[in-house]
Structure 1
Amino acid sequence: MNRPSAPTNLAKNCAAWTRRGLMILGVGLALLGVSASVSNAQQPQPPNIAAAADLKFALDEVGAAFTRDTGKVVTLTYGSSGNFLRQIQQGAPFQMFLSADEGFVRQLADAGKTVDGGTLYAIGRIILFAPKNAPFKVDPELKDFRAALADGRIQKFAIANPEHAPYGLAAEQALRSRGLWDTVQPKLVMGENVAQAAQFASSGSTQGGIFAYSLALSQHVGDLGSYVLLPADWHEPLRQRMVLLKGADDTARAFYAYIQQPAARAIFRKYGFVLPGEGS
């Protein structure tokens, strides 16, 4: 009787061991995959922070500094304060709100949506902006702007929507204070928020605009034209208040505290905000 040679038996054994090993490896990888999925599911998501659009450049820097100094991460979402007010009232999952109008924070506090009454973190300013090749020149008294409105050089002019954007309301108030609102109103192009108004004006989509000083101080906007700071007494103060919302986690609370520290205050100051405890 012929018997299998030793090499043949060895080959069969090796093949069986290989199949068994691959099965074990496959099970192990599957278990690792399950383990990784469970681990990822257990990782806390960064808290979502609702922030007024005028904060875009300043708060991006503050957020980067916060992460560098603490190792914690937040997700910053920008928009008009009035729209955020409505979204939070309807249950949007934000953990903190930085409003350009402190009245919106007080409404949320009165409705029981917040941890407390919040903290004043900055006072904003507005500017008149003219893009490169604009048909008028900026000046502190708005003389050429007034003349350009009267003689038809300006056909499109950008501000944020005053109905829900505090900087748009401040722009309206400033124009009314100079007796220019009725003349400019038919020419207005409304931004959904102040950052969009700045985009319209700086890109040349309109022939100018009024928007946040903090946005003009960014090279992304300021280098695209010229501007003049408008007097603060031409409009109601843009008192900007922040607040923690119910359910805020430890990271959101740490970010709230960080904004009140010297490192963050220095960044806000750089972008033209008047800070609590400091003069105008």
Structure 2
Amino acid sequence: MKSGKVALFVVVFSLSGMSQSWAQREKPILVAAASDLKFALDSLIAAYSSEHSASIEPIYGSSGKLYEQVSNGAPFHLYMSADIRYPELLAENGFAASAIYRYGVGRLVLWSKRRDLDRLGMDAFKQDWVKKIAIANPDHAPYGKRAVETLTYYQLYGDLRDKMVLGENISQAAQFASSGAADLGLIALSLAVAPAMKKFNRSHYLIPEESHSPLIQGAVITRYGADSDIAAAFMAYLQTEKAIAIFREFGFSQPTD
């Protein structure tokens, strides 16, 4: 091979290697996240990305469905659940690669596009105009499960069961309420205070915490993400004061015990 061709081969090979290395370096880490985190996590990622070159892609869904995917080997680097029990199960079954971080406590609220609810409170369920009530599917969505607990606590579940419209996750339940497909929605506070809902200028009613089990939420690095420096760095960022302030902005308080 002539020297010119050798040089050309070396350059092409080097560029190819650089391209592959760059692609690997830029490949995003995937975060399986509860859908109540939609606006909070988007804000967290934007804040983190403004200071770091890492690429982070959230995949939103119900905590239970995402738990099943992680358990079956889905390529998620982090898992952020609306119910800490799911990360605990991952750890118990060998699918977690870090300690569990309790990033916040979620709150359930009653919201309607049709009425302000701060004064009506639980009496809203007794209004004649209420024909459909949106909740997340309680079989796999923590907010849906807490909604059923609340209605049972107030002895309303039996009377209202036929009026319920089930969202695949809490974000879809909020969409049903905001579109008018449901008259009331038992949704996450983190969604009610987000711009997409606040634009309707409707007040919400904060469901008393004693009516349901706590919504302690937790994050964990998955076994798939065990060797990812970016996953470890982002997990550490979630525990900083800056990140905690963003969580608070979207209605997540910090666990006290």
In the superposition, the TM-score normalised over structure 1's length comes to: 0.81
2:118 equivalent to 1:142? no
Alpha-carbon distance, 1:35 to partner: 5.8
Q: For structure 2, list consecutive stretches of 5 or more residues without a partner in the other structure.
A: 1-7
* 1:81-113 Cα shifts (integer Å, max 9, x gaps): 000110011110001111111111111111101
Alpha-carbon distance, 1:228 to partner: 1.0
Give the RMSD, CA atoms, in angstroms. Answer: 2.4
Alpha-carbon distance, 1:44 to partner: 4.3
Q: For structure 1, list consecutive stretches of 5 or more residues without a partner in the other structure.
A: 1-25
The counterpart of 1:254, out of the listed 230, 233, 237, is 233
How far apart in 2 are the matches of 1:35 and 1:89? 34
| Pair 1:29–1:205, CA change in 2 (3 A) | farther
The counterpart of 1:202, out of the listed 178, 200, 204, is 178
How far apart in 1 are the matches of 2:233 and 2:110? 36
Alpha-carbon distance, 1:147 to partner: 2.4
Q: Is the 8 A contact 2:117 2:205 kept in 1?
A: no
Q: Is the 8 A contact 2:190 2:250 kept in 1?
A: yes
2:74 equivalent to 1:92? yes
Q: Percent identity?
A: 38
Alignment size in residue pairs: 248
Alpha-carbon distance, 1:119 to partner: 1.5
How far apart in 2 are the matches of 1:272 and 1:137? 18
The counterpart of 2:110, out of the listed 122, 128, 133, is 128
How far apart in 1 are the matches of 2:217 and 2:68? 17
Alpha-carbon distance, 1:146 to partner: 3.3
Large movers: runs of 4+ above 4 Å:
26-37
Alpha-carbon distance, 1:142 to partner: 1.7
Amino acid at match of 2:28: P
Alpha-carbon distance, 1:41 to partner: 4.1
Alpha-carbon distance, 1:276 to partner: 3.0
Amino acid at match of 1:157: I
2:103 equivalent to 1:162? no
Q: Tell me the residue number matched to 2:3.
A: none
| Pair 1:42–1:57, CA change in 2 (3 A) | closer
How far apart in 2 are the matches of 1:253 and 1:275? 21
Q: Is the 8 A contact 2:102 2:218 kept in 1?
A: yes
Q: Tell me the residue number matched to 1:212.
A: 188
In the superposition, the TM-score normalised over structure 2's length comes to: 0.88
Q: 2:112 is paired with a residue of what secondary structure?
A: strand
Q: Tell me the residue number matched to 2:218.
A: 241
Q: Is the 8 A contact 1:215 1:221 kept in 2?
A: yes
* 1:217-272 Cα shifts (integer Å, max 9, x gaps): 11211232331111111110001011111142000100100010010000111111
Q: 1:69 is paired with a residue of what secondary structure?
A: coil
Q: Tell me the residue number matched to 2:5.
A: none
Amino acid at match of 1:241: G
Q: In terms of Rg, which structure is larger?
A: 1
How far apart in 1 are the matches of 2:120 and 2:216? 23
Amino acid at match of 1:97: Y
